[in-house]
Structure 1
């Protein structure tokens, strides 16, 4: 069996790694070839296992099993901080739910926190010992190396312009005139997914949004990755990146991005509208840790109407699969599940089906997706 994977971000390389490890012949078509322009290149790298949606908890748990053997992943743990009694009650319920899922989670007093946290504001801490942090571009490179060592082939630059069923399989044509044949195809192109799905005659309700993340000026010495820290009540998160500190915020009006604006990739010019939420986010830091951003990232990622990814076969297009709106947290586990489904060993979860919004009006779907943006870090993980 030969599988063509379209997209070489964290999802595409994870699928290649999972399939090649099973002895499947794999070709990955990478639109860029050089510097990566997809969402993986801009991700903060949190791998948080617990999620309110059990299906995502299981995918994240499996992802950690994949990543723990790679140097780009560190089992640092994760923290959620409450700054009010109501926030502490929410954390307590989340910890109980995580424990019921078999995860190592505890509710604790505000002690032993990273030095960048203003612990005077904190009334309770949820600790998630199974969480970790990754350096996404290195994690992607290491997964690709594993896939290549198992025989996967990467072709770049190779922008797909046409896909058609043929003789029980598929033909895939690229912009430079290359034509490949495959038994199965997997679409894993992130924010560019709707365009590829359109080649198969399918609507994929996936909505790109912009998101701010900033870095402090590097300082010596480098430090080991500490826990990823979230303030769910305030839609703020932060982590140490070796010799620098990064902080991001979802506490702002959603900023949808038109497909035409993505020609240059998932990194857009900084939007001054993000200055205020970033400044507000820094009020959660210890006064000595607050900073004037040395680097500002306006990164784009994909939202869905229910904050769940698309993972499964394409209805009406036998042999075609979609793996979209999947972040670093779930990529490794999603790839393992997809590889087993593609080889006929299991059915993928129905709640991730690609046609679950088939009859809903497009405007309603976008409204639903944008409404969920602000709560991503209150209930989910990147």
Structure 2
């Protein structure tokens, strides 16, 4: 998709109703879509370094949308997200989710999660190993598990289709798109706060003094916020990019019958899904590894990930079908689809996204560290807050959610501690132990 305007056109036609979204993955696209649905005079511009290819985490996300999290905030956002995705043709498939365990502590976890699910209005049923295995017979050996919890309303999201839908709908409503890499910002002091006066790009500077600027930049957010030697904000924004191994079976004919549910082996921090023409598997069972992303959200392949995948595959019945050897060690080389890869995504100290206004930068908002699981719901929430008119006013529930996602919530905490807390969340990414 080509750009619909130039930087010169932007600078020659300043507007006090301009909203600049930086980042064209599923979060930025969802924001453009939901902001454009309002009856307003806002001029919305989405900027991304590639309008044709999803270079961020959206492009390789496993796509599972598990609605229950032991954080009520994430549960609410996930439920809202599913309602959004269900309106998108081909965007969401309700295949269900299975959580498996073979330990007494695992049974306690599943029983607790069933109670929490029921309180949240989400159906969840404990199954026998035999019944669970019948739902995904190539994945599950009934003799190797003891406890199973089924979430029938969970499913898989096709992030590419969803993002494309948001983009085309937003474009039809007058949202403009600009393909260029944002490289930094120039700020201007104004009373007790500052504001972003210039958005710097590889193609030239954009005057943004009268604009609202939203960073939907995922794994690149921390580097953009740090802005070289002149940070944009004095607040800590701990969004930590981490490495994550994912692999596939070779391409095959699609299975006959109902697609498999998404399956998680809680005791081993391993998950698997049916992609239709192949199966996929990922693991969190390794020391967290911080990375600095370069051109895309595909990182260099650490040799240690070969063993991580080998151990992960041992939990599946079709263990021998999965590829376990990484394809390269150079993140600048092209990614070969359907091969093992290191997919970079973000973690935070509390596993919650950042969504809201940055209080010491008058015109800056964040929408970052947001997974596909909660992208649609978070974008709707933030759009209501940004628009702030009678038709789109926030509710008391919205305000509680925004308080939990406040970009200023880690003010006063040391950076080293925030980094340590973020990395510690990686091995229990679903917040089961909170």
Instruction: Indicate the residue corresponding to 1:317 in structure 2.
Output: 361
Which runs of 5 or more residues in structure 2 are unaligned?
Answer: 1-16, 325-337
Q: Is the contact made by 1:230 and 1:377 (CA closer than 8 Å) also made in structure 2?
A: no
Deviations along 1:59-112, one digit per CA (max 9) or x if unpaired, are 001100110122121111111112223212210110111101111111121213
Aligned to 2:77: 59
- The 8 Å contact of residues 3 and 26 in structure 1, kept in 2 or not, is answered as yes
Report if aligned partners of 1:161, 1:175 keep a CA contact under 8 Å in 2: no
- Corresponding residue for 1:3? 19
Comparing 318-327 with 292-301, greater Cα deviation is found at 292-301
Q: Equivalences for 1:186-201 in 2 at 5 Å?
A: 186-199=214-227, 200-201=232-233
| Counterpart contact for 1:48–1:60, Cα < 8 Å | yes
- 2:200 is aligned with 1:173: yes
Structure 1 residue 301 and structure 2 residue 345: aligned?
Answer: yes
CA distance in structure 1 between the aligned counterparts of 2:62 and 2:21, rounded to whole angstroms: 25
* Larger Rg over CA atoms: 2
RMSD of equivalent CA atoms: 2.1
Deviation at 1:375, TM superposition (A): 0.4
**Alignment partner, residue 379 of structure 1:** 432
Matched, 1:131 2:154: yes
The one-character-per-residue Cα deviations of 1:309-346 (angstroms, maximum 9, x if unpaired) are 11111011123210111000011000000001112222
> Does the Cα contact within 8 Å between 1:250 and 1:377 map onto a contact in 2?
no
Q: Separation in 1 of the partners of 2:431 and 2:348? A: 16
Deviation at 1:226, TM superposition (A): 2.6
Shift of 1:214: 0.2
Q: How many angstroms does 1:137 deviate by? A: 2.3
The two structures have a TM-score, normalised by structure 2, of 0.82
Shift of residue 287 of structure 1?
A: 4.1
Cα distance in 2, alignment partners of residues 189 and 326 from structure 1: 10
Which residue of structure 1 lines up, in the alignment, with residue 95 of structure 2? Answer: 76
CA distance in 2 between partners of 1:11 and 1:253 (Å): 28
Alignment match of 1:251 (pick from 275, 280, 285)? 285
Distance change >3 Å, CA 143–CA 289, structure 1 → 2: farther
Counterpart residue number, 1:150: 173
Aligned to 1:184: 212
Runs of 5+ unmatched residues, structure 1: none
| Distance of 2:366 and 2:431 partners within structure 1 | 27
TM-score (norm: length of structure 1): 0.92
Change (3 A) 1:156 1:329: same
Any residues of structure 2 matched to 1:195-234 within 5 Å, and which? 195-199=223-227, 200-202=232-234, 203-221=236-254, 225-234=259-268
Contact 1:232-1:377 at 8 Å conserved across structures: no
Instruction: Decide whether aligned partners of structure 1 residues 75 and 150 sit closer, same or farther in structure 2, where only a CA change above 3 A counts.
Output: farther
State the secondary structure of the residue aligned to 1:60: helix
CA contact (8 A) 1:222 1:242 kept: yes
Report the equivalent of 2:330. none
